[in-house]
Each structure stands twice: as C-alpha cells, then as structure tokens.
C-alpha cells in the first residue's frame, strides 16, 4: 500500500491503531478496504475523490449514504472528508446474479423504499441523475479527448435522443442508479444497498432497467420484477418505456467504460468491458419499437 494512502487512513481519529488492512475486491472506480483495529472492530473504507469526468461528487455520495442509513437500507457513515469515507462494516453475503434473482421480491421492496423514503431524509442540495444528459456529457468528453470511439459517438447520441423521446413522460423518484449485484449485501435475512456515488432523482425505470441488464434477467424475470414494483399487470406502453430506459442504461455503461479507458488507473480490463456493453446495447436497441 502506498504511504500516502496509509496516511489518509491514519488521519481518521479512530483509525490510529490498525491491526490489518485488507483489500475489498469488486470496485472498478475506487479503492475499497476493510480496516481492522487492534480492538478487533472492522470498518469499510473507500479511498475516493471527486471524478468530474463521471459526474461524481463525493458530497452527494455522503449525503445519499447518510439518508440511506437513516431509512436502514445502508451502513452508517462514520467519518468522511475529501479523500475517504468510512462506513460501518457489514459482515454479510455479497449477492451475485443468481442470488439477485432468488431475492427479487425482497430487492424490489428495498428499491421502492429507497425511491419513496430517501427524499424525506436528504438534507441540503440534492442531485438529478439524468441518463440522457450523462450520455451527452460523455460524448463531449470523448470528443475533446480524441477517443478511439470518436467515429461512432454521433450515432450513439442520436439513438439516445430517440430513446429519451420514446420514454417520456417520466415519473421521478430518488434513484440509486447503479444496481449491480455486488452492491447488495445480505446479512441474515436483511438486505443492504451500498455505493451511492451516482444517486439522485431519476425515473424508476432506470433503476429497474439497470437491475435487469446488470443481472441478465430474461423476459419472464423482467415481467415479474415490473409487476412486483408497480403492483399491477404491465401494459405494452409501460413495457416499451421500460425497454428504452434499460437500453439507455446499457449505453450509459458503455460510454462510462469508454471514459474510464482514458482516465482510470484501476487495474481492470475496461476495453473488454466496453466491447461487452456495446454489444449488449446494440442488441437491446435493435429490439426497441421506435
């Protein structure tokens, strides 16, 4: 571990007597660690900073994490500054695709709780995560930085415009906006949702579309997810809007990875991740009723 990182950690008042530092795998944006003190208390530490290229503002992540802990869906924030965030450590099972599908009804109940209750707990300025704006932002960044994907960017944005139009009008809730399987932790029978760096007001269909695309839901599993969320049979109109936002979530993930190829120092194969998501986006877009 770099001396600079160790100093950042030891500047936290209650992390002076460290017994062990363990890397927590899975993060492809930040450095995540488990810290064990000599009193055997464990803490989850995220070494992080603002990432304007990805529209990440740590004040928003901290604010959203605190609100999520107040409604008891996320670990407590114990300490934060502009270099790290320290969380209560939750010792539980990190979900995978199979377990997301197995626990889908409980996950949907958690997502609805997030969407409906976090606005009551957010203090100060709140953010909006509008996927179509994010796509335009990424396109501008990739253009300016002479990305190797430059030739296809106009086509991707034109497709985004079609999806934004077809998906309207929009219901707005408070979204997590990054529903990867690894962001769900199950301790005993209770589910927690972590990693709030993209949180903000959004349409619920983006969270649902992201949950599906990140966990390879089939059509039957998607219908089950949507019927549990909306508590009714799903109309063709709503289903078409849902597929627009699911496809948009795939495009956003693709362009996120394109940007990460340029700016990230994390040891991760972003090139393959871009290719995989771009292929998934193309397949999904071809199925839309435009």
- Of 88, 112, 137, the residue that ends a domain is 88
Per-residue pLDDT of the chain (290 residues; tens, 9 = 90+): 677 788 889 889 998 888 888 888 766 677 889 999 888 889 999 998 999 999 999 999 999 999 999 999 999 999 999 889 999 999 999 999 999 999 999 999 999 999 999 999 998 888 999 999 999 999 999 999 999 999 999 999 999 999 999 999 999 999 999 999 999 999 999 999 999 999 999 999 999 999 999 999 999 999 999 999 999 999 999 999 999 999 999 999 999 999 999 999 888 999 999 999 999 999 999 999 77
- Of 67, 88, 109, the residue that ends a domain is 88
Q: Do 46 and 180 have their domain in common?
A: no
Q: What is the CATH number of the domain that holds 27?
A: 3.30.200.20
pTM of this structure: 0.93
Please count the structural domains in the chain. 2
CA distance 203 to 128: 10
CA distance 51 to 60: 12
Q: Do 107 and 234 have their domain in common?
A: yes
Q: Do 84 and 99 have their domain in common?
A: no
Q: What is the CATH number of the domain that holds 152?
A: 3.90.1200.10
CA distance 166 to 160: 10
Q: Do 134 and 149 have their domain in common?
A: yes
Residue 169: count of CB within 10 angstroms of its CB:
6
Q: Do 18 and 103 have their domain in common?
A: no
- Of 21, 56, 88, the residue that ends a domain is 88
Range of the domain at 250: 93-286
What are the phi and psi torsion angles at 254 (to 5°)?
A: -60, -50
Q: Do 71 and 118 have their domain in common?
A: no
Q: Do 132 and 151 have their domain in common?
A: yes
Nearest to 47 by CA among 61, 67, 66, 68: 61
Q: Do 155 and 229 have their domain in common?
A: yes
Are 108 and 223 within 8 A, CB to CB? no
């Amino acid at each position: 571990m770099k001396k600079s990182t160790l100093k950042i950690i030891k500047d936290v008042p209650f992390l002076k007597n460290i017994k062990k530092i363990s890397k927590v795998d899975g993060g492809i944006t930040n450095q995540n660690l488990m810290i064990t003190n000599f009193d055997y208390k464990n803490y989850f530490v995220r070494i992080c900073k603002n990432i304007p290229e990805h529209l990440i503002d740590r004040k928003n992540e901290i604010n959203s994490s605190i609100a999520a802990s107040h409604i008891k869906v996320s670990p407590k924030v114990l300490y934060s500054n502009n270099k790290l965030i320290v969380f209560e450590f939750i010792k539980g099972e990190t979900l995978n695709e199979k377990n997301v599908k197995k626990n889908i009804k409980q996950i949907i109940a958690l997502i609805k709780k997030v969407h409906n209750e976090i606005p009551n707990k957010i203090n100060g300025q709140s953010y909006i995560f509008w996927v179509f704006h994010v796509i335009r932002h990424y396109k501008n960044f990739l253009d300016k930085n002479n990305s190797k994907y430059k030739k296809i960017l106009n086509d991707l944005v034109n497709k985004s415009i079609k999806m934004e139009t077809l998906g309207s009008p929009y219901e707005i809730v408070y979204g997590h906006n990054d529903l990867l399987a690894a962001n769900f932790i199950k301790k005993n029978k209770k589910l927690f949702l972590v990693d709030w760096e993209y949180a903000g007001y959004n349409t619920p269909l983006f969270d649902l579309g992201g949950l599906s695309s990140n966990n390879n839901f089939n059509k039957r599993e998607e219908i089950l997810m949507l019927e549990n969320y909306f508590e009714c049979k799903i109309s063709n109109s709503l289903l078409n809007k849902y597929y627009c936002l699911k496809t948009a979530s795939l495009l956003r993930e693709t362009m996120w990875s394109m940007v990460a190829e340029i700016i990230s120092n994390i040891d991760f194969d972003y090139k393959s991740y871009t290719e995989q998501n771009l292929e998934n986006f193309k397949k999904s877009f071809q199925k839309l009723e435009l």
